[in-house]
């Protein structure tokens, strides 16, 4: 008899296993989890004014938690994530965004370091070629 019970446990025989209760899906819970996911996504893009290197999603500060609740309430009231971000930009300036938009002066600030690095590398390559050139080839015009 013990072997029959063991086989029933391994194979999942319904006679030896009690039925697993299935919880009904609550539509408000699904909506709340969707709202929480949207809140977390928007909060991850906003800089914490206290911690400055962290998003309000990751920051433990009280101000960050208050800002996150404002994000949640605005999303609950029907605003889009872009409208919520625009609200915070209007209050704090574009500094509040962890990833500033690619407009105006921001484009130059993103591209200038890349241009300087490429220019610097080109200068180094040119100087190295000049310094390592064969000195006899430069002096002897008959070659």
pLDDT of residue 27: 55
Phi, psi of 138 (to 5 degrees): -75, -30
pLDDT at 20: 63
User: In this predicted model, what pLDDT tens digit does every residue of 39-58 receive, in sequence order?
Assistant: 999 999 999 999 878 999 99
Q: Quick one: pLDDT at residue 134?
A: 73
List strand residue ranges (DSSP E) for the chain, in order.
none
Rounded CA gap, 114 and 39, in Å?
34
Distance CA 125, CA 121 (A): 6
Task: Give the other-Cβ count within 10 Å of 3's Cβ.
Answer: 7
* The pLDDT value given to residue 122: 94
Residue 3: the pLDDT is 45
> Which stretches of the chain drop beneath a pLDDT of 50?
1-11, 14
Judge contact between 59 and 72, C-beta under 8 A.
no
CB 36 within 8 A of CB 69: no
pTM: 0.55
pLDDT at 88: 93
Q: What is the pLDDT of residue 5?
A: 44
* Whole-number pLDDT of residue 4: 46
- Euclidean distance between CA atoms 118 and 30, whole angstroms: 50
């Amino acid at each position: 008899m013990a072997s029959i019970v063991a086989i029933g446990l391994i194979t999942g025989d319904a006679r030896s296993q009690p039925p697993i209760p299935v919880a009904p899906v609550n539509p408000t819970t699904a909506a709340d989890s969707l709202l929480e996911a949207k809140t977390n996504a928007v909060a991850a893009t906003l800089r914490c004014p206290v911690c400055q290197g962290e998003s309000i999603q990751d920051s433990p500060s009280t101000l960050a938690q208050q800002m996150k609740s404002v994000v949640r309430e605005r999303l609950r009231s029907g605003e889009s994530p872009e409208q919520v971000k625009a609200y915070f930009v209007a209050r704090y300036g574009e500094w509040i965004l962890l990833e500033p938009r690619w407009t105006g002066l921001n484009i130059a600030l993103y591209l200038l370091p890349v241009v300087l690095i490429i220019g610097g590398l080109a200068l180094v390559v040119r100087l190295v070629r000049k310094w390592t050139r064969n000195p006899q080839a430069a002096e002897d015009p008959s070659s």
